[in-house]
């Protein structure tokens, strides 16, 4: 009886141990060390065959510091393999001119993507700056770079702790200088091109000017540069010049476009009030189509439509009168001809 009791205790202890072991392994998200060893060996073989993308993927599966059953003995070599292959693939993509392409590694990823995936963070940052220097005036490329380095800054503590990587904050300062210089360059270009007053495939000088002011504002906005105020002042100045013209409805349209660029709702309201006054003056002078144009600028589209319909009705009536007169003239000529024939003339 006593012996049976001890057997039962032993059995329960074994079951408890198995349950604890199963729970520990069951809760593990990852691989056992034996599995990671298999991945590592596959990676070594693939690298020897020159199948580098496959080798990188297997090294990546084997690089965890610990498996489900303890410290991973191949972790260090696997990490080194990842970094080695990533650097090699990055060099190849750079030679092709493919510095940045955000796709899966086996689908033609860029040099930057390989370096980042292989934990070559310092080289990845240098590659990002190389991309900027290749296209310094490309806003979309610049946006990617700013996002990348701001992400580095936000994760600086984690990168230092987890990877021993110290973030170089000088890159963001360099980008800030580039953005400010680019904004200045665009403003200078806007001033020169606006003065030309020519129309080409890019539109009128106003079309080009507004695009350039928007572009300059984008550059200054990246780092909340105080120079953004210069863009607003330039837009308001252009708008004021057009607002001063009382002779052409189009001038008030251009004024509104510039005030919209400056986000000056007060001046936009002022333009519309002036457009109403000029519309009423044009009606008194009988220049009705100009009045229609001014009413539309003021946003009074109902009044513009009624006036336009009135102009069309008047035009049709005049046309009918002209046709009637022409018909009477033809009838008179025919009677004259008939009379001359009767008289033998």
Number of domains in the chain: 4
64: left (phi over 0), alpha (psi -120 to 50) or beta: beta
Q: Are residues 69 and 127 in the same domain?
A: yes
Q: What is the rounded distance in angstroms from the CA atom of residue 246 to the CA atom of residue 260?
A: 20
Report which DSSP code applies to 27: T
Spell out the long-range contacts of 131-140 with Cβ–Cβ below 8 A and sequence spacing 24 or more.
Answer: 131/99, 131/100, 132/175, 132/178, 134/99, 136/178, 136/182, 137/182, 137/185, 139/215, 139/218, 139/219
Q: Are residues 168 and 195 in the same domain?
A: yes
Give residue 293's domain range.
226-342
Helices (H), the chain: 2-26, 33-49, 52-61, 75-95, 111-117, 121-134, 139-154, 156-163, 170-196, 205-221, 228-243, 249-261, 265-285, 288-298, 301-342
Q: Are residues 233 and 319 in the same domain?
A: yes
Q: In the prediction, which pLDDT does 277 show?
A: 96
- Of 105, 134, 163, the last residue of a domain is 134
CA 93 to chain centre: 25
Q: In the prediction, which pLDDT does 197 show?
A: 79
* Coil vs helix vs strand at 224: coil
Q: In the prediction, which pLDDT does 125 show?
A: 98
Q: What is the rounded distance in angstroms from the CA atom of residue 50 to the CA atom of residue 48?
A: 5
Q: In the prediction, which pLDDT does 175 show?
A: 97
Q: Are residues 13 and 115 in the same domain?
A: no
Q: Are residues 111 and 35 in the same domain?
A: yes
Q: In the prediction, which pLDDT does 338 show?
A: 58
Q: Are residues 260 and 324 in the same domain?
A: yes
Q: In the prediction, which pLDDT does 34 show?
A: 83
Q: In the prediction, which pLDDT does 181 show?
A: 97
Q: pLDDT 10s per residue in the chain (345 long)?
A: 444 433 433 333 443 333 333 334 445 656 788 888 888 999 999 999 999 999 999 998 888 777 676 787 888 899 999 999 999 999 999 999 999 999 998 889 999 999 999 999 999 999 999 999 999 999 999 999 999 999 999 999 999 998 899 999 999 999 999 999 999 999 999 999 899 877 777 788 999 999 999 999 999 999 999 999 999 999 999 999 999 999 999 999 999 999 999 999 999 999 999 999 999 999 999 898 899 999 999 999 999 899 889 877 776 766 666 666 665 666 656 666 654 554 444
* Coil vs helix vs strand at 200: strand
Q: Are residues 318 and 296 in the same domain?
A: yes
Q: Are residues 170 and 186 in the same domain?
A: yes
Dihedral sign, Cα of residue 239, residue 242, residue 244, residue 248: negative
- Of 113, 134, 155, the last residue of a domain is 134
Q: In the prediction, which pLDDT does 330 show?
A: 62
Q: Are residues 187 and 266 in the same domain?
A: no
Q: Are residues 120 and 104 in the same domain?
A: yes
Tokens of 140: 């979309």
Q: What is the rounded distance in angstroms from the CA atom of residue 119 to the CA atom of residue 86?
A: 8
118, 82 Cβ separation under 8 angstroms:
yes
Among residues 66, 57, 131, the alpha carbon closest in space to that of 94 is found at 131
Q: Are residues 110 and 151 in the same domain?
A: no
- Of 220, 255, 279, the last residue of a domain is 220
* Coil vs helix vs strand at 203: strand
Tokens of 208: 């080009």
Q: In the prediction, which pLDDT does 311 show?
A: 74
Q: pTM for the whole thing?
A: 0.74
Q: Are residues 241 and 336 in the same domain?
A: yes
């Amino acid at each position: 009886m006593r012996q049976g009791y001890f057997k039962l205790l032993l059995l329960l202890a074994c079951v408890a141990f198995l349950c604890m072991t199963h729970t520990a392994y069951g809760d593990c998200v990852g691989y056992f060390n034996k599995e990671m060893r298999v991945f590592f060996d596959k990676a070594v073989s693939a690298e020897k065959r020159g199948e580098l993308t496959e080798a990188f993927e297997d090294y990546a599966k084997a690089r965890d510091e610990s498996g489900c059953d303890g410290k991973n003995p191949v972790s260090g070599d696997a990490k080194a393999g990842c970094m080695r292959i990533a650097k090699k693939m990055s060099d190849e993509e750079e030679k092709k001119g493919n510095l940045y392409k955000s796709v899966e590694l086996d689908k033609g990823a860029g040099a930057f993507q390989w370096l980042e995936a292989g934990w070559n963070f310092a080289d990845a940052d240098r590659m990002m700056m190389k991309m900027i220097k290749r296209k310094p005036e490309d806003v979309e490329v610049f946006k990617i770079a700013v996002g990348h380095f701001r992400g580095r800054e936000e994760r600086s503590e984690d990168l230092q702790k987890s990877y021993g990587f110290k973030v170089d904050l000088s890159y963001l300062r360099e980008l800030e200088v580039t953005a400010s210089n680019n904004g200045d360059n665009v403003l200078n270009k806007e001033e020169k091109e606006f003065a030309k007053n020519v129309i080409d495939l890019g539109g009128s000088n106003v079309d080009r000017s507004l695009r350039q002011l928007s572009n300059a504002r984008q550059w200054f906005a990246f780092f909340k540069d105080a120079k953004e105020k210069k863009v607003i002042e330039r837009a308001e100045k252009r708008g004021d010049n057009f607002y001063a013209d009382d002779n052409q409805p189009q001038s008030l349209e251009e004024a509104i476009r510039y005030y919209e660029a400056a986000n000056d709702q007060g001046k936009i309201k002022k333009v519309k009030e002036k457009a109403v006054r000029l519309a009423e003056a044009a009606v008194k002078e009988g220049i009705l189509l100009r009045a229609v144009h001014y009413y539309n600028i003021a946003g009074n589209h109902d009044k513009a439509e009624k006036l336009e319909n009135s102009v069309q009705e008047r035009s049709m009536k005049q046309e009918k009168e002209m046709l009637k007169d022409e018909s009477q003239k033809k009838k008179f000529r025919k009677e004259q001809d008939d009379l001359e024939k009767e008289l033998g003339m």
